[in-house]
Amino acid sequence: MPATMMDGTALAARVRGQVADEVAALGIPIGLATVLVGDDPASAIYVRRKQEACVEAGIEPFHRELPGSTSQEQLLALVAELNADERVTGILVQVPLPDQIDEAEVIRAINPIKDVDGFHPTNAGHMLQGNPTLLPATPAGIMELLAKYNVQLKGSRAVVVGRSNNVGKPTALLLLAQHATVVLCHSRTPDLGAVVRQADVVVAAVGRPEAVTAAMIRPGAVVVDVGITRTDDGLVGDVARDAREVAGLLTPVPGGVGPMTIAALLRNTVRAARYQHGMLAFPGG
Ligand code: NAP
């Protein structure tokens, strides 16, 4: 029986509606600053979608674009300016950044209470210790999608393929927090297929089409495809197309994790504003 597709577009639309209602009810100024450095077309599209979602939810957009030749000092100066701007309650610096920029230093420069991407070590540390504050948007969106489809995580075997700080590692931690037994795979994992075949839940975050093939999937497994690769045939994920003949639940690409990432970003943006308006306590002040 072909897999049931997990409809991220539909769930994200519902979440965005909820966020819009929440923003209207809260009645506090909420502003999201997006920073785009350089002219990477994919990054420009992602940032525009985030801004559009913001406007639709009643969040004020502040967009800044810097040339690809921007220096570390110039970018840090912009982050400092946005940290100090009270109208800006959330800051998102779109990654990847040009080679001359030290990405980790830029992320560390963002005030953790405005870090709506959840990449700052303070927020990553709270997540590690099981005390979530602002969670990385893609992993948070994945978890919301799994919850929506009533995926039983407690006691399950979960395999995450990819160990990036933004996607793979935090997704593994969030699955662990839900009592899954988690294996985290990467480019040096021997016999990836044998490991993935053990999984009740597979999350593929590699960035290589067909990194996960149908033969690697246990029949009936839940498969989350995070990958986005642009090809002549459009966007493709990390999971081979014929996996839908084997999986029980599967996210489409596009229309699965991508929309949920934006929805989770909006949730974070509201949460960050609540922290700044004293409506929620940020751990450690
Ligand atoms: P990344 O930083 O490039 O990380 C890729 C990971 O895959 C690395 O940990 C790498 O291992 C691992 N890997 C590479 N080749 C492998 C192989 N043959 N077998 C097993 N593991 C392998 O990428 P990312 O930022 O996590 O993103 C992953 C994908 O998700 C990309 O396609 C990206 O565009 C997409 N993405 C989508 C969304 C969304 O909203 N849908 C959001 C973020 C990212 P090593 O660590 O050993 O190098």
Pocket test for ligand 1, best of 49, 92, 164 (most atoms within 8 A of CB): 164
pLDDT of residue 127: 97
What is the total residue count of the chain? Answer: 285
50 is catalytic: yes
117 is catalytic: yes
CA of 260, closest atom in ligand 1: 40
Pick from 127, 75, 86, 173: nearest CA to 268 = 127
Is 229 touching ligand 1 by the criterion CB < 6 Å? yes
Residue 35, pLDDT > 80, answer yes
pLDDT of residue 151: 98
The answer to whether residues 209 and 229 touch, using CB atoms and an 8 Å cutoff, is yes
| Cα–Cα dist 38/70, whole Å | 8
Catalytic residue among 51, 114, 115, 117: 117
| Cα–Cα dist 177/174, whole Å | 5
pLDDT of residue 6: 98
For ligand 1, atom 1, name the residue with the nearest CA. 164
In sequence order, what are the residues at sequence separation of 6 or more whose Cβ sits closer than 8 angstroms to the Cβ of residue 152?
A: none
| Cα–Cα dist 105/82, whole Å | 16
Is 227 touching ligand 1 by the criterion CB < 6 Å? yes
The answer to whether residues 96 and 103 touch, using CB atoms and an 8 Å cutoff, is yes
User: pLDDT tens, 146-170?
Assistant: 999 999 999 999 999 999 999 999 9
b or e along 199-235 (b: 16 or more beta carbons within 10 Å of the residue's beta carbon)? bbbbbbbbeebbbbebebbbeebbbbbbbbbeeeeee
Mean pLDDT of the chain: 97
Query: What percent of the chain stands above pLDDT 70?
Result: 100
User: pLDDT tens, 83-94?
Assistant: 999 999 999 999
User: pLDDT tens, 229-249?
Assistant: 999 989 999 999 999 999 999
The answer to whether residues 95 and 166 touch, using CB atoms and an 8 Å cutoff, is yes
**Of the given ranges (1-5, 34-38, 189-193, 257-261), which has the lowest mean pLDDT?**
1-5
The answer to whether residues 134 and 119 touch, using CB atoms and an 8 Å cutoff, is no
pLDDT of residue 185: 98
The average pLDDT across 4-11 equals 98
Q: % helix / strand / coil in the chain, to the nearest 5?
A: 40, 15, 40
In sequence order, what are the residues at sequence separation of 6 or more whose Cβ sits closer than 8 angstroms to the Cβ of residue 262?
A: 12, 16, 49, 50, 53, 137, 141
| Cα–Cα dist 159/179, whole Å | 13
Query: What percent of the chain stands above pLDDT 90?
Result: 99
Is 207 touching ligand 1 by the criterion CB < 6 Å? yes
Nearest-Å Rg of the Cα atoms of the chain is 19
pLDDT of residue 284: 83
SS3 string, 33-48, reads EEEEECCCHHHHHHHH
Q: What is the pTM of this model?
A: 0.98
Residue 285, pLDDT > 80, answer no
pLDDT category, 280, cuts 50, 70, 90? very high
Is 257 touching ligand 1 by the criterion CB < 6 Å? yes
Is 168 touching ligand 1 by the criterion CB < 6 Å? yes
Place of tokens 């943006």: 269
pLDDT of residue 1: 82
The answer to whether residues 118 and 127 touch, using CB atoms and an 8 Å cutoff, is yes
282 CA distance to ligand 1 centroid (A)? 30
b or e along 108-125 (b: 16 or more beta carbons within 10 Å of the residue's beta carbon)? bbbbbbbbbbbbbebbbe
Q: Are strands 181-185 and 4-5 parallel, antiparallel or unpaired?
A: unpaired
Going by the DSSP 8-state scheme, the letter that residue 212 receives in this structure is B
The average pLDDT across 110-139 equals 97
pLDDT category, 184, cuts 50, 70, 90? very high
| Cα–Cα dist 2/243, whole Å | 9
